[in-house]
Structure 1
């Protein structure tokens, strides 16, 4: 009797990002061709490349499509209430200054509902990284117009087009006090990864905008083709212009997009200022509680 040898069982090779993802929650909920997934890949790659201990990294997200990022990262992560990711991150940083705190959320959560928190954290120069995936609308709740919807762009609450002037997020961040400001599309993979790496290794309020128009609602309402068509349009029509004038960074409907690194400066963080100021009052032995006991 002839016996047939059992096929050799090969052990699957672990994907290099697996240690940083909660694989028990995969597959994720994001739509096909959504740019959030590629942005998460860039974030995971940047974490692998930097010398920061993952045990000292925390991810904070609010509500919305991008807000689900915190639930997929195998890091200390917090899914907070709508618009409150930045104040939550601020409290975490003040309580444990050795942590590298990353806020990962969308334009509706960070800039609309959480707009005041955004500008004041930048003004104080809180030592956190804010990554905003800008999909041009409130995507998870039905495609309503938001503060980044381009003029004439259609949304569920603007069926004849949006006629409100949108924010320029890099301009807003820089004018509020951010020390690092960059913008890319979700298809600029290497450049997004490099920017995240730079932001992770910088002290102060760092802001990265990633353009990823909603592939389901924004693309359909504006008859712009598939989500991949939409992302490819913005990628191919991007002009890399580092140190561009902040006044020139407005986003027009289906028009050229200026991307790059616009701000990279040094100045004291909030905790630096607190320690310097109170040391002068209370003596050189004074140290912020979190740093002293962190």
Structure 2
């Protein structure tokens, strides 16, 4: 919350009246509705982006911000995620990635590293994880970045840039969850996880965004997409105008 609100303040907003917030289900989803004095939609599991798409289409003048977690956005909501990025609809998505389903007991999720023990993978996770930043960049988002809670200044700058960029923008924030994740992977103390984050490599912004399976030591930080492709609502308006229809 602090990282996001700093970005908003730096952009000159005294309040959140020009924003509408959407969240799904999970730990990160509770950041909005109890704490922000703003219009919010707390939606069903995995459907935050579907609700946000409808909201943006109906109220294009609002800045739509989705705040949710890796389980909500990348598992049950994974299809919505890639298609929202493909459409390049104008909204900012902030994903708090803690590598598991933290609120429901620490079950294995789509970003859990291979070999990690969780409540539903007691002998280790046999699956490969998603690299969310690369996935969303490849799907067509205009701006994609990844930072951690140990990099608040860089994360806030990335959110500020995402809010200014038209089109689909995605900022992944790697977040510590010592209770549901850390204690099962030999990092029971929050400080242990922060120290781990500090050691992650930072990629050069102009280096190729090649695919690689994420690992604990090699999950890189930085920007993964920074472009200006046509936005969905604008394209929709142009099509409606060409067909003789009304646009808002």
TM-score (structure 1 length as normaliser): 0.80
Change (3 A) 1:189 1:199: same
Q: Is residue 193 from structure 1 mapped to residue 156 from structure 2 by the alignment?
A: yes
- Provide the residue aligned with 1:230 in structure 2: 193
Change (3 A) 1:272 1:144: same
CA RMSD of aligned residues (A): 1.5
Larger Rg: 1
Change (3 A) 1:143 1:244: farther
Spell out the pairing of 1:1-294 with structure 2 (5 A cutoff): 40-52=1-13, 54-71=16-33, 72-248=35-211, 250-252=213-215, 254-282=216-244, 286-288=245-247, 292=248
Residue 5 of structure 2: SS of its match in structure 1? helix
State the alpha-carbon separation in 2 of the partners of residues 184 and 155 from structure 1. Answer: 24
For this pair of structures, how many residues does the alignment match? 246
Structure 2 residues without counterparts, runs of 5 or longer: none
Residue 103 of structure 1: SS of its match in structure 2? strand
Q: CA deviation at 1:229?
A: 1.1
The structure whose residues are more often helix, as a share, is: 1
TM-score (structure 2 length as normaliser): 0.94
Q: CA deviation at 1:123?
A: 1.0
Runs of 4+ in 1 over 3 A off after TM superposition: none
State the alpha-carbon separation in 1 of the partners of residues 102 and 207 from structure 2. Answer: 29
Q: Deviations over 1:24-63 (max 9, x none)?
A: xxxxxxxxxxxxxxxx101010111114562111111111
Residue 152 of structure 1: SS of its match in structure 2? coil
